[in-house]
Amino acid sequence: MTYRITAPGNIWDSIDNGTYTIAIEGSQVSDNFGRFITASTLKTFAVNVPRAVLTADGTLIVNGSDSNNTIALSLVNGSPCASALVADAALAARRRLELAEEVFALSSEALKVPLGHFAEDLEDLWGDPAEGATLARLRRLMAGGAEERRPYQAPVSFRVLPRVLAQFRRSTEAAENAATTSLRAITDNPVFLAAQGEKKGRVFSTGGYHNAMAYPTMDNIAAAMADLCLLADRHTSKLLDGRYSLLPDQLQQGEGYLGCLGMVQVGYAEEARRAAQRNFLPGSEGGGFGNAPGVRRLAATDNSRKRCLRAGRRKPSNDIQSLSP
């Protein structure tokens, strides 16, 4: 006859480690002739299960808790959340960069900005890849525009446009790099390393849950977008002022009136500046070292903001003609 003993909790894990004794009680087991076995100790054995065990069905048991609890803990710790946020920010920023380049190219064309402000020669003079790519993009968008340009330099907000747009491009590329690294990284806490060769499986408690790339990268995107909003405000003011734009003052034609655009643009610029406040680690030890500071600023607070954010999803155009009303 074979006797089996069920493990505590139906599985042997590290919580059950220790010395066990198998004993038989007296007058409980007898042979066919009715002779009972006296009470005695049959065997002593030790249980020494690793702290992490991978079961046949793929469940990871760590210190007696299954991996579902570990997954929940890692989500609370914050790194997977931060990785997802920076990835979402990178995707949205790339779309918004393309949209911003189109809008500012149209603004520059409306003012008939001298093309020398975006000349190819500046790429070598400035020596920055992001600025070179931005200059090239603006030239492509404005190709086929008006041949007659204004004979004097455009206002400052138009001349600095390539460099401000380039900062948004750099921030976007940095977010893409951070997202690529973060999404591939294994940042669970604790983290389980499977056995390899003579090495046994190991469990490490780590600080991988704190994604130090995510929130500064998103801060830089927010700051670059705030600068673009301010630049858009300046462009709007110059386009509305006939002395600078050489267009109808306040862009008024007949009963149409667009003079209120300036007030609207100021509101958007102020909102963008407020959202671009930089995040830091919590100042108090009671705050923990998670990623909450970088998350709070990202929430859309009203439907109008959500509509603005969705605007970057449309397919970009290729030239100035397709941008014209």
Mean pLDDT (whole number) for 250-263: 76
Q: For residue 12, give its domain range.
A: 8-49
Within this chain, do residues 132 and 260 fall inside the same structural domain, yes or no? yes
Within this chain, do residues 116 and 226 fall inside the same structural domain, yes or no? yes
Nearest to 86 by CA among 187, 208, 175: 175
Q: What count of other Cβ atoms lies within 10 Å of the Cβ of residue 35?
A: 8
User: Looking at residue 230, what is its pLDDT?
Assistant: 92
d(CA 277, CA 29): 78
Within this chain, do residues 188 and 316 fall inside the same structural domain, yes or no? yes
Within this chain, do residues 260 and 310 fall inside the same structural domain, yes or no? yes
Which CA distances in Å does 108 have to 7, 63, 75, 226? 76, 64, 46, 19
Mean pLDDT (whole number) for 218-227: 94
Within this chain, do residues 112 and 16 fall inside the same structural domain, yes or no? no
User: Looking at residue 9, what is its pLDDT?
Assistant: 74
DSSP type of residue 57: T
Within this chain, do residues 223 and 308 fall inside the same structural domain, yes or no? yes
Within this chain, do residues 192 and 261 fall inside the same structural domain, yes or no? yes
Alpha-helix residue ranges (DSSP H) falling in 143-260: 156-159, 161-184, 214-240, 242-245
63 located within any domain: no
User: Looking at residue 65, what is its pLDDT?
Assistant: 53
For the stretch 7-46, pLDDT in tens is 877 777 777 888 988 888 888 888 888 888 888 888 898 8
103-117, 151-165, 299-313: the lowest-pLDDT one: 299-313
CATH of the domain at 291: 1.20.200.10
Within this chain, do residues 276 and 129 fall inside the same structural domain, yes or no? yes
For the stretch 135-170, pLDDT in tens is 999 999 999 998 899 888 999 999 999 999 999 999
User: Looking at residue 31, what is its pLDDT?
Assistant: 82
d(CA 131, CA 170): 9
Supply the pTM of this predicted model: 0.65
226 located within any domain: yes
Mean pLDDT (whole number) for 81-91: 90
Within this chain, do residues 30 and 91 fall inside the same structural domain, yes or no? no
DSSP element (H, E) containing 275: helix 261-275
Calculate what percentage of the chain has a pLDDT beyond 70: 77
User: Looking at residue 87, what is its pLDDT?
Assistant: 92
User: Looking at residue 300, what is its pLDDT?
Assistant: 41
Strand partners, 61: 53, 66
- What is the total count of domains within the chain? 2
DSSP 215-229: HHHHHHHHHHHHHHH
Q: Which comes out higher in pLDDT, residue 288 or 213?
A: 213
Within this chain, do residues 232 and 319 fall inside the same structural domain, yes or no? yes
319 located within any domain: yes
For the stretch 53-63, pLDDT in tens is 556 665 555 55
201 located within any domain: yes
Within this chain, do residues 31 and 154 fall inside the same structural domain, yes or no? no
Within this chain, do residues 32 and 166 fall inside the same structural domain, yes or no? no
Confidence of residue 109 (pLDDT cuts 50, 70, 90): very high
For the stretch 265-286, pLDDT in tens is 888 888 888 888 888 877 666 6
Confidence of residue 325 (pLDDT cuts 50, 70, 90): very low
221 located within any domain: yes
Place of tokens 């139906």: 10
d(CA 238, CA 159): 13
- Of 75-84, 160-169, 252-261, which has the strongest mean pLDDT? 160-169
User: Looking at residue 301, what is its pLDDT?
Assistant: 46
60 located within any domain: no
Q: Work out the mean pLDDT of the chain and round it to a whole number.
A: 80
136 located within any domain: yes
DSSP 91-121: HHHHHHHHHHHHHHHHHHHHTT--GGGG-TH
User: Looking at residue 26, what is its pLDDT?
Assistant: 85
